[in-house]
Each structure stands twice: as C-alpha cells, then as structure tokens.
Amino acid sequence: MPLVFAGVCSHAPGITGRAERADPELREDFYAAMRRLGGEIRAARPDALVIVAAEHFANFFMNNMPAYCMGMAERYEGPIEDPEWLGIAPRTYPGASALSRRLIERIMARIDLAYAEEWQFDHGIMVPLHFLLPEADLPVIPVNINCQGPPLTPLSRAYEFGRALREACDAVQERIAVVGTGGISHWPATPDSGKINEAWDRDFLDRWLANDHARLTAYTDAETWREAGQGGFEIRTFIAVAGAAEGAVGELYFYAPIPIFAVGCTVARLRI
C-alpha cells in the first residue's frame, strides 16, 4: 500500500522528564499537538509505524556505527534511561520483524542499511511514542540515523534514504505510517541547554513544509553546528521524512521554544 502518513515531532527528554518546569499553558498546547498527531496516525489506519529517530548512544557506539539502521526485532523495550529521570515508565512495544525484513531488503537496493534484532529505545523514540501511541498497541519499526558521532551521513543521503523508505513502503501490502523525531536547533547536554535559535528553526521549517529538496539539503554541517548546535544535526530525521513524502507539502501544528525542554518544540505533518 502507499505510505499512509508522514509527520515529525520533537523528542527531547525534558519534554517528559522536566515537564513540571515548563510554562503550563505552552506545555499543554504542545502536548495537545503531539496527541493530535497520534490521533491522525491512528486515523490513517496503519499496520505499523516506522519511527525515524536519532538515538544517543543507546544501541550504537563508535566501535561500529551505522549511518542508517532499521530494527528487525519481534519487540522493543524502553526507556534505556532511568524511567524516573525520563518520566516514562518501562514498557514493551510490539515489533513487526517479518515486515521489517521485507522493508530492509527493498531499501538495501538503494541504501546500505544496517539492521538490528536487538534495540533498546531511548528518549528519541520513547518520548514521541509516549504521546503518539500511549497504548503501545501498534507495531513499531525503529530507524536510526547517526546524528551523534561524526562522520555523519550527508543531508542529500538522508533525503535519498527517505525516498528508498517510501519506495519500500509502497511496495508492501501493509499500510505504513512514518514519523521522524529530533530537534531542530538546540544545544542539549551542554551549559547552553535551553538555547534555541528560533529564526533558524523557522527558516528550516519553511524549507521542510515546502518539501524543498534543494534548500533542505543545502546546509553544511559546519553551518548547522554554528547556527543550530550539535543538536541541529538531527535535522537528518526530518529530511528523511521529507524524502519519504517527496512531492507533498506540510502543515505546522505546533512550534514554540520551550527552553527547559531544551528545544524548539515541533509537531508537523506532510500531506501525502
């Protein structure tokens, strides 16, 4: 079936772990937008949710770092972080190993994709799923794009990965939704945590909502690092979703800097 849904959202651990310290009105508006995205995923009646995230050394380290990896497990557990620290209780999400395998085989025709039959979810996946799939009742297929340990995959390849993912999703019988998670500009886990370049974020979102391949892939990593921090490298997940929804333009459901969450909180979808 053709891909049935494409969206993006933030995943910063403070969203749940430091919830009580945010402006309540802003926080609840953001949470409502996250739940809206979750409701729209369900309304698209997917058989599985592919979640394209940028993990933070939960499963992958510099001894053997894949640029792209897709999960092929029967189930996934998380959070790998202290549940109290993250504000999310441990839980298990069902996987879809046979479907994963078919998608991986298809994607491999265009992208040298790694796969993993073991995968512990960190906040990059747990925080979005906390809102999007609160009942953990839809099979999940995780994808990681290395955004932490350079060298990093070029932005043009992230878009191409999205195209390959779309082709694979369109080729299988199942209905598949895809969500990308990550920050736009942010400087997490530094003394600058909470700094957000709103102008840079809004310019990036203009490019993403227009699904403008040329402008989305025009950034150099040096520019991104300077203007958007090391957290800005996670735009790769948003760009991959744009690639998966090439030709579709988007709608922004929520954007607001919430400094104690350490990111400009974002919820958006592309109308495929």
Cβ proximity to another protein: between 82 and 135 the closer is 82
Asked whether 132 and 178 are in contact (CB, 8 A), the reply is no
Cβ proximity to another protein: between 175 and 195 the closer is 195
Rounded Cα distance, 210 and 214, in Å: 11
Cβ proximity to another protein: between 42 and 66 the closer is 66
Look at residues 31, 15, 49 and name the one whose alpha carbon lies nearest to residue 137: 49
Cβ proximity to another protein: between 122 and 160 the closer is 122
Whole-number minimum distance, CB 22 to another protein, in Å? 10
Whole-number minimum distance, CB 67 to another protein, in Å? 17
R_g (Cα) of the chain, nearest Å: 17
Cβ proximity to another protein: between 45 and 226 the closer is 226
Cβ proximity to another protein: between 56 and 163 the closer is 56
Question: By the criterion CB under 8 A, which residues form the site for another protein?
Answer: 18, 56-59, 61-63, 80-82, 85, 120, 148-150, 187-195, 225, 229-230, 259-260, 262
Whole-number minimum distance, CB 160 to another protein, in Å? 24
Whole-number minimum distance, CB 189 to another protein, in Å? 3
Q: Which residues pair with 53 in a beta bridge?
A: 144
Whole-number minimum distance, CB 20 to another protein, in Å? 12
Cβ proximity to another protein: between 148 and 181 the closer is 148
Whole-number minimum distance, CB 64 to another protein, in Å? 12
Whole-number minimum distance, CB 10 to another protein, in Å? 15
